[in-house]
Amino acid sequence: MKTEETQLKFSDLGISASILAVLKKMGLEEPTPIQRKTIPVAITGQDLIGVAQTGTGKTFAFGIPMLQRIGSTKGHGLVIAPTRELALQVEESLKKLGQSLGLRTASLIGGESLDRQLFQLRKKPHIVVATPGRLIDHLKRHTYKLEQVNILVLDEADMMLDMGFAPQIQEIMKQMPLKRQTMLFSATMPVAIVKIAAAYMKLPISIEVAPPGTTVDQIDQEIFIIRNEDRFNYLEKILTRYKGSVLVFVRTKHGVKMLTSKLVSLGQRAVEIHSNLSLSRRRAALAGFKSKRDRILVATDVAARGLDVSGIEVVVNYHLPDNTGDYVHRIGRTARAGQAGKAISFATPDQQREIRDIERLINKSIKRTEFVKFSDVRTAKSSGPSRGRAPYRGRRTNSSSYSNSQGGQSEGRSGNQSRGQRTTPRSVSSSRRFSRQRSYGTGR
């Protein structure tokens, strides 16, 4: 049953008729929870902090008020985002909304030609979306001036701090005009964010649509407790069971390259994204994944932060994140816009502490399915429950040559694993045998 609040439409939030017309053309009528709570406050010009899960519509939560206020006051807006990809996506969204209103946008990001950006700036854009490093480059060259900005947005602020941008943010904030509106959006609320708010914001209103660090309810989360060398085998099982788009997070750039290469060699439509790639190659990889031409995107945390791709069926944490907070950002790439999604994480038996840290952060327990070794899973699936048969003797294989970038171990089974007695995997929550329908844990 819908409450009075959830029945609110964009037309109930104080949005101008011109912007409402654009939203209608885009097929948007009902705001998301963060948009419902944020837009009426932001339109008044008050400072605010918006805490919401990744993928909940934060761009329009600040974009609609920003465009409306700039249109009426002839002011200028600045959005600072942590990564090139996120900055480009934010600018693309604001451009769609603003061009019908006669408002121009520009992006200032690393990896792009300065001449191209100078050409954009000469057109006097109303809104600039920038990454911290490239913005400071322009400030030092005096090619962009902050004195004209009266609306500032720090998007995915927790990510920026995690990536070490605190000094750049402080340098930028010190040059900002005192008379301005500041909006800060984040998926989590670490102490560092509170300090930024205290130092650079004027009595901000805090808006939370869910406790910081929570994950979308529609995400079915599961952790596979496996041996380090069995990661690739389980990834293959996942790719067989799920038929939609899959986003795989790997700890290092080298690991991303190696895993992508192995997937492609096996005929999978996989692309990679990491910071060593040129911007054009990153854009091409993202375009292929968005268009469904490529089914699998293998990425590092930094490169994938802020990715806005709809319809991702499964997120796989090939390695658990080094930063616990990144777990929320990773799995938030699935179950967007109210859709259901699946998040599967691989962990080794000695990572129980990391798992508990994640569970404390999201304030819920995650189902764990524990396997002894991959050959046992294959045996249980092919033979069913043991009825006094002789132990299964697996084939010796060298088919998996992918080397784990952290441990240097082969992803295939080694010689001393090729002969293994059947051992039924056990689930932490259940002791039932691993049946034909339950080939590697639970799935949809």
Q: What is the pLDDT of residues 231-271, one digit of tens each?
A: 999 999 999 999 999 999 999 999 999 999 999 999 999 99
CB atoms within 10 A of CB 65: 30
Q: Residue 347 has what pLDDT?
A: 97
Whether residues 288 and 155 share a domain: the answer is no
User: For residues 66-86, b (16+ Cβ closer than 10 Å) or e, as one string?
Assistant: bbbbbbeeebbbbbbbbbbbb
SS (H, E, C) 329-397: HHHCCCCHHHCCEEEEEEECHHHHHHHHHHHHHHCCCCEEEECCCHHHHHHHHHHCCCCCCCCCECCCC
pLDDT value for 303: 62
- The confidence band for 416, taking pLDDT boundaries of 50, 70 and 90, is very low
pTM above 0.85, yes or no: no
Domain boundary among 181, 208, 235: 208
AA letter at 439: S
Whether 20 and 139 map to the same domain: the answer is yes
Specify the range with the lowest mean pLDDT, choosing from 194-198, 215-219, 228-232, 241-245: 215-219
Q: Please state the rounded mean pLDDT for residues 318-323.
A: 93
Query: The dihedral of CA 211, 216, 220, 222: what is its sign?
Result: negative
My answer on whether 15 and 151 are in the same domain is yes
- Amino acid 326: pLDDT: 85
Give the other-Cβ count within 10 Å of 151's Cβ.
24
105/182 same-domain check = yes
Q: Average pLDDT in the 203-229 region?
A: 83
What digits encode the pLDDT tens for the residues 105-139? Answer: 999 999 899 999 999 999 999 999 999 999 999 99
What number of other Cβ atoms are within 10 A of residue 157's Cβ?
28
Report pLDDT for 216.
Answer: 62
Q: Is 81 a residue whose pLDDT tops 60? A: yes
Query: Looking at residues 407-432, what average pLDDT do you find?
Result: 39
What is the band of 297 on the pLDDT scale with cuts at 50, 70, 90? very high
The model's confidence at residue 47, banded by pLDDT at 50, 70 and 90, is very high
- The answer to whether residue 188 sits within a structural domain is yes
- 55 and 168 assigned to the same domain: yes
More confident position, 335 or 318: 318
Give the largest Cα separation in the chain, rounded. 81
Based on the fold, state whether residues 201 and 230 are members of the same structural domain. no
CB 374 within 8 A of CB 232: no
> What average pLDDT does the chain have?
82
The strands making up 270-273's β-sheet, listed across from edge to edge, are 270-273, 296-299, 245-249, 312-317, 341-347, 219-225, 367-370, 426-427
Contact between 422 and 239 (Cβ < 8 Å): no
The confidence score (pLDDT) of residue 308 equals 72
Rounded distance between C-alpha atoms, residue 308 and residue 186, angstroms: 15
Is 346 among the domain residues? Answer: yes
Q: 102-113: per-residue pLDDT in tens?
A: 999 999 999 899
Instruction: State the pLDDT at residue 8.
Output: 87
Residues 56 and 72 in one domain: yes
**Domain membership flag for residue 27:** yes
State the total domains in the chain.
2
Cα 247-162-32 angle, rounded to 5 deg: 60
- Could you tell me the two tokens for 392? 């299964």
Predicted local distance difference test score (pLDDT) of residue 70: 95
Higher pLDDT, 78 or 186: 78
Predicted pLDDT at 279: 80
Distance CA 257, CA 26 (A): 38
Are 320 and 327 spatial neighbours (Cβ–Cβ below 8 Å)?
yes
Q: Is residue 122 exposed (0-12), middle (13-18) or buried (19+ Cβ within 10 Å)?
A: exposed
- pLDDT: which is higher, 386 or 271: 271
Q: Mark whether 187 and 231 lie in a shared domain.
A: no
Looking at per-residue confidence, does 335 or 85 come out higher? 85
Whether 413 contacts 375, CB under 8 Å: yes
199 with 255, same domain: the answer is no
Same domain, 105 and 204: yes
pLDDT in tens, 356-379: 999 998 888 999 998 755 555 443
Q: Measuring CA to CA, which residue among 76, 81, 38 is closest to residue 60? A: 38
Tell me whether residue 110 is in a domain. yes
- pLDDT score of 374: 56
Can you tell me the distance from the alpha carbon of 433 to that of 421, in angstroms, rounded to the nearest whole number?
A: 15
337 and 303 both lie in a single domain: yes
Let me know: does 273 contact 299? Beta carbons within 8 Å.
yes
**In the predicted model, is pLDDT for residue 296 greater than 80?**
yes
Could you tell me how far CA 117 lies from the centroid of its own chain? 27
Least confident of 3-12, 121-130, 420-429: 420-429
Domain containing residue 40: CATH number: 3.40.50.300
Contacts of 70 (CB under 8 A, 6+ apart): 76, 77, 103, 126, 127, 151
Q: Which domain holds residue 43?
A: 10-208
| Distance (Å, whole) CA 195 – CA 178 | 18
What are 86-96's pLDDT values in tens digits?
Answer: 899 899 999 99
**Are 171 and 304 contained in the same domain?**
no
Cα–Cα dist 392/236, whole Å: 21
How many H helices and E strands in the chain? 16, 15
Residue 404: band (very low, low, confident or very high) from pLDDT cuts 50, 70, 90: very low
Amino acid at 339: Q
* Domain closes at, from 370, 389, 412: 370
Contact (Cβ atoms closer than 8 angstroms) between residue 289 and residue 128 = no
Tokens of 45: 């010009």
Domain closes at, from 355, 370, 385: 370
* CA distance linking residue 415 with residue 396, whole number of Å: 6
